[in-house]
Amino acid sequence: MIRTVVSELAAPSQAMRDALPRAIETVLEHDAVMSGLAAMTSLEAAGTPSTSGPLAFPITVSAWNLERCLFVEDSADHLKQHAPALVLLSEMDDGMARTGQRHTTRDLARCMEMTYAYGVEFLEMGLGSDTEREFCSDSFNLKGFHGNGLLSAAPIREPFMIRLWGERLWRGDVGQPRIGERCAVGGLIDTTSGPFLAVSVHLESATTAAYREQQTADMIDRLEQAFPDLPILIGGDLNTGNHAGGDFEAEGLFAMSAARGFSRHGGPLEQMTTRPSLITRWPERAMKLDWFLTRGLELSDTIITPSLDPKGRPLSDHDPITTRILGFL
């Protein structure tokens, strides 16, 4: 668990990024490279919360994979219709040409009048896919950061990042070279009834259900060790069914987490959470990838909101999911 917190992540110089290997043979070699990058061994926490005290139930929370976050202000407006006090974010850029070099998590937090924690999933050494390059006005990335975030209307205590268990599957992708691994970003949220743990997570897409189950089990182990006996809210893009014929029920992570006391919340089972977007223009199928997993918390029904702006433009290839935490069980 990474506990080193900074107010701004240090970006490696362009010369340093140019010198990094584009393909790495083993996990050990990859992690040796990653451990030498300060931004990969710390997380950023900053911003100004709209309230200095604890939150009162019910607490509205949204989880949204924003697919790089091409449209910060419009995405903030879309979230504001639900007035969430917590937002769990996936696939957020910082210093990438495809999103105008913006720190999308920080800028979204400012729009929402929230504090934030942000962790780098990947240091990207290229500009992205062919469709992503169409959004680039620069031929370089200022930072090359891509990761996950947690936004809160109240202060986030003891923020942390967990780099998920994995085999560093992207280390050999010479087409889109990157350093890193999927991650979870979280912290303690104080309420008038006591604290709970909020965790934003993004599981691996390019793998099997068994792999994602192992990632989830390992994450829960580390959360329990660091924060014993606390209620837990986990939310985000779990990539369920992404490489299992589209059947999210084939994912073992649901039965495993249920055996450990967690319940799942993802809205109507027949309603998927992905759609065509400006980047992902022709997805092969609609999938149900986005969920909350909770223990020790009572939740209302979860709703899925189409990620379309007022003109019908998709803001992401994922729809946000939103629920209310009614209290502790």
Q: What CATH number is given to the structural domain containing 151?
A: 3.60.10.10
| 257-296 pLDDT, tens digit each | 999 999 999 999 999 999 999 999 987 789 999 999 999 9
Q: What percentage of the chain carries pLDDT values higher than 70?
A: 99
Give the relative orientation of helices 104-112 and 72-80 as an angle to the nearest 10 degrees.
Answer: 40
What residues make up the domain containing 243? Answer: 5-328
Q: How many domains does the chain have?
A: 1
Task: Specify which residues 47 forms β-bridges with.
Answer: 115
Distance (Å, whole) CA 85 – CA 324: 10
**Mean confidence (pLDDT) of the chain:** 96
At residue 244, the pLDDT reads 63
DSSP 262-312: -EEE-S-TT---B---SSS-S-SS----EEEEEESEEE---EE---B-TTS
At residue 157, the pLDDT reads 98
**pLDDT reading at 170 higher than 80:** yes
| 70-84 pLDDT, tens digit each | 999 999 999 999 999
**pLDDT reading at 123 higher than 70:** yes
| 13-40 pLDDT, tens digit each | 999 999 999 889 899 999 999 999 999 9
At residue 64, the pLDDT reads 98
Distance (Å, whole) CA 298 – CA 58: 10
Does this model's pTM top 0.95? My answer is yes
**pLDDT reading at 176 higher than 90:** no
User: pLDDT-derived band of residue 42, with 50, 70 and 90 as boundaries?
Assistant: very high
**pLDDT reading at 233 higher than 80:** yes
- What is the CA angle 174-179-184, rounded to 5? 130
pLDDT higher for 282 or 194? 194
Q: Give CB contacts under 8 A, 24+ apart, made by 222-228.
A: 222/1, 222/162, 223/162, 223/186, 223/197, 223/199, 226/1, 226/160, 227/188, 227/197
Range of lowest pLDDT (108-122, 201-215, 271-285): 271-285
| 286-329 pLDDT, tens digit each | 999 999 999 999 999 999 999 999 999 999 999 999 999 999 99
Structure-token pair, residue 260: 């450990």
Residue ranges of the alpha helices (H) in 26-134? 27-35, 72-80, 104-112, 130-133
- Give the DSSP letter of residue 174: S
